[in-house]
Amino acid sequence: MACLLSYIIFFLTQTVLLLSPTAAQNTGNIPVGRSLVAATNGSSWLSPSGDFAFGFHQLPNTRNLFLLSIWFAKIPDTVVWSANEGNPVPQGSSVQITANEGLVLSDPQGNNLWNTSNELSGVGGGVSYGFINDTGNFALKRSSNDNPVWQSFDHPTDTLLPGMSLGSNEAISSRLSETNFTTGRFQYRLTSDGTMALNATDLTTGYAYEAYHISDISNAGHTQRFVYNESGYMYILRKDGSMYNMLPENYTPSKDYYQRFILAFDGILMLYSAPKTSVTDGWSLFQITPRNMCIERAMRNLGTGICGSNSICSLNADKRPVCTCPLGYSRLDPDDQFGRCKPNFKLQSCEGNAAEISMKDEYNLVRLTNTDFTYNDYERVSSNNEEDCKNACLKDCYCAAASFQLFGDNSGCWKKKAPLFNGRTDSSVTDGFWIKVRKANISNDPLNPYVNFPPLTAKNKTKALNKVLIGGSVSVNILLLTAIGLGIFFTYHKKQLKGFDEVQRKTLRAYSKVHYFSYQELNEATNGFQEELGRGSFGIVYKGMISGGGLSTFVAVKKLDRISGDTDKEFKTEVNVIGQTHHKNLVQLVGFCKEEDQRLLVYEYMSNGSLADYIFRDSKPSWIERVLIAQGTAKGLLYLHEECSTQIIHCDIKPQNILLDEYQNARISDFGLAKLLILNQTQTNTAVRGTKGYVAPEWFRNKPVTVKVDVYSFGVLLLEIICCRKSVCMDLFEGEGAILTDWAFDCYQSNRLNSLVNDDMEAITDMIRLKKFVMVALWCIQEDPSVRPTMRTVTQMLEGLAEVPDNLPCPSSFSVTTQY
């Protein structure tokens, strides 16, 4: 039925579009007195070709916030200019063309929020009319024979369009985030000394730091103008009249394509192109500049760097910068992905008698691979090896980190002060680098596990010595009595102990791949199993902390609450199989406990919880975060299916079983339902396993179960990641929208992917990848397992390494709607 309805929906959609308020607008001059009102499906003023629109753009995921802006009318949610410094206005606000002030933006109460009066150029006469032309430029004029007295091209925001240029001290500025259009941290400008520079700014003072990238660096200082002409050619015009091409070598501009050049919110310059005849394909990205902004230029005056203080810059798979906190640190503002990181421990203090403080006993140095914080050095230490360098930092109360290099201009040991700036990680960074963190000691307060020890004074030392002497005398007597008692005990129980040890050794030999914990250890680690993280099929998961190597680490302890033959079998499966798996997209098993009737598993602790909590919350995660999560999950499944020593079918892929680590990496968890296949075995028969909504049809038809059941579940999961909604929503959606798999195919068939993602601006801007991901998901949920791709093919298609076939058959919704 979904396939039949898709054609009807497509026809109705095209009819609605033809009758929509935007499409019905007359083009041409807009006389003084005309106005627009911010409202859902409100009107806008179109350019003659209908390519651009001026008016109130409703912000995604909001009901009553609108941005006065210019956008591509035929490509959803591609804003190229905004007024009012990017600040949105409430529903009911209006904009009017006036003779004296030009454009006037008012709130619903009539208060003036923004106008162009201070920017009107020339003298004599008022504004007569406004218009938006086919280049995307909105202009105000006195008469047709005069030059514009104001135009949007003279006041760019984060986008340059063909026909625009930048002169001395002119710039484009990034927005604050993907969905926040106010001015962000980065700008691309023509400096007064003739250099095209990319730099960060201080949001409070507006101060521009040194450039982290310079275009045409061999001729820096000779730029006269940055030009993006109406033919689509982009170049730097030098003072001697020569030009420096800014377009990719394999790219030739065409009038048949839309183009835009933007400074993204994360400080990257990006060139996009889209065919005018096939706008549903969305934008194609042709160039990213710079290629690696984290290490492009190491300058002293970069402020905190690309990321905030104590934060480390690295590149993701899309060559976009990602800021992460080092071990022992966390974001000061969890919502600011480029913000500062704060230590999760008390920083070392130099107060009091620093010479008597044994810092080496309270702090550790943790190595950060391929990492450095540049220009934080305050002292060079003569040391011939890394250990001497580390000891020098541990003994120095001012030292927050240290780096060591054996050869080169910066050879030796360099100590660094806090806070740390310009953090970066890259394979080209080969120095040894260590950051100082406080040793964590378990306290009785689970909310404050770090115990601060007071410095030893002379008085305290004397007291301590007396305690040691008295305690030592008592201890010797106790040890003698204990030895006598143990001798008697072992004499009478030697045979019993020998038998018990043999049984215990046989048990532990079966679980030799991971660490063994006693029940008492895990009881103490979880503070009596107090803090519950979640509940699974066979037990409850608790948060705990274990010590090792001088550091304490959070863990997730899964306590099985129903002991039976099946449960014990699942327990052995997890311990033996998961203990041998090692992949960055799998949750690592740390250890286990098998003591009498107690069965516990100890996993890595995932600080960001489950994917279900992440994508089904009120605020959507960014599109690029969802892309990376989908790709990471696919890689984890590929490893289970093809790359680990024993092939594993997970059998229960769903958002609750995908966890997120501190860097938002997807980590597959909970192998309690895994069905193992020996090498060269391709299928198995078993009872129905998994969760309703994610279970492949073959489970219900007594057909052989292969790794393709995981592919099916991944397809449903991928649609949920794309749309940020559950696969079955009977309460929230009516008709076809209730079943996500049906709804996705209908939207794909009728070219309504913007409806599928609920007008998610980030996703729609990346339309080519959005369409590709939807197609991959639809191939994965095909009813016939043989038609579904393997996870290797899925991974390649998601990463753009393989084409996605476009002859999609209509998938089945059998397993989604079946009750069991």
Residues with active-site annotation: 652
Q: Is 91 helix (H, G, I), strand (E, B) or coil?
A: coil
- β-strand 423-425 against 312-315: which pairing, if any? parallel
DSSP summary character for residue 582: -
Q: Which two tokens stand for residue 403?
A: 């780096």
Q: In a 10 Å sphere around its CB, with 0-12 CB exposed, 13-18 middle and 19+ buried, how is residue 518 labelled?
A: exposed
Strand-pairing partners, residue 401, are 416, 435
DSSP summary character for residue 15: H
Which residue, among 215, 221, 259, has the nearest Cα to 235 in the 3D structure?
Answer: 215
Which residue, among 178, 305, 289, 182, has the nearest Cα to 624 in the 3D structure?
Answer: 178
DSSP summary character for residue 576: I
Strand-pairing partners, residue 82, are 69
**How far is the C-alpha of 560 from the C-alpha of 542, rounded, in Å?**
11
- The contacts of residue 739 (CB under 8 Å, 6+ apart) are 727, 728, 813, 816, 817
Q: In a 10 Å sphere around its CB, with 0-12 CB exposed, 13-18 middle and 19+ buried, how is residue 791 labelled?
A: buried
- In angstroms, the first-to-last Cα distance of the chain is 23
Which residue, among 690, 714, 734, 732, has the nearest Cα to 780 in the 3D structure?
Answer: 714
Cβ neighbours of 575 (radius 10 Å): 23
**How far is the C-alpha of 307 from the C-alpha of 325, rounded, in Å?**
10
Which residue, among 38, 1, 72, 10, has the nearest Cα to 753 in the 3D structure?
Answer: 10
Q: Is 599 helix (H, G, I), strand (E, B) or coil?
A: strand
Amino acid at 241: G
Amino acid at 792: R
Instruction: Pick left, alpha or beta for residue 509 (phi over 0 → left; psi -120 to 50 → alpha; otherwise beta).
Output: alpha
- Strands of the sheet containing 401-405, edge to edge, are 363-367, 432-438, 401-405, 412-416, 377-381
Which residue, among 543, 650, 656, 561, has the nearest Cα to 600 in the 3D structure?
Answer: 561
Instruction: Please answer whether residues 403 and 414 qualify as being in contact, where contact means their C-beta atoms are separated by less than 8 angstroms.
Output: yes
> What is the largest distance, in Å, between two alpha-carbon atoms of the chain?
114
Contacts of 455-462 spanning 24+ positions with Cβ under 8 A: 455/352, 455/353, 455/356, 455/357, 456/356, 456/357, 456/358, 457/353, 457/356
**How far is the C-alpha of 57 from the C-alpha of 44, rounded, in Å?**
9
**How far is the C-alpha of 380 from the C-alpha of 230, rounded, in Å?**
55
Residue labelled with tokens 């790709």: 631
**How far is the C-alpha of 356 from the C-alpha of 354, rounded, in Å?**
5
Instruction: Please answer whether residues 577 and 589 qualify as being in contact, where contact means their C-beta atoms are separated by less than 8 angstroms.
Output: no
Whether residue 559 is annotated as binding a ligand: the answer is yes
- The contacts of residue 19 (CB under 8 Å, 6+ apart) are none
**How far is the C-alpha of 28 from the C-alpha of 494, rounded, in Å?**
102
**How far is the C-alpha of 171 from the C-alpha of 196, rounded, in Å?**
9
DSSP summary character for residue 153: G
Q: Which two tokens stand for residue 276?
A: 């005018």
Angle at the Cα of 140 from the Cα atoms of 137 and 145, rounded to 5 degrees: 100
Which residue, among 583, 585, 594, 584, has the nearest Cα to 558 in the 3D structure?
Answer: 594
Binding site residue list: 559
Residues annotated in the binding site for ATP, as ranges?
559
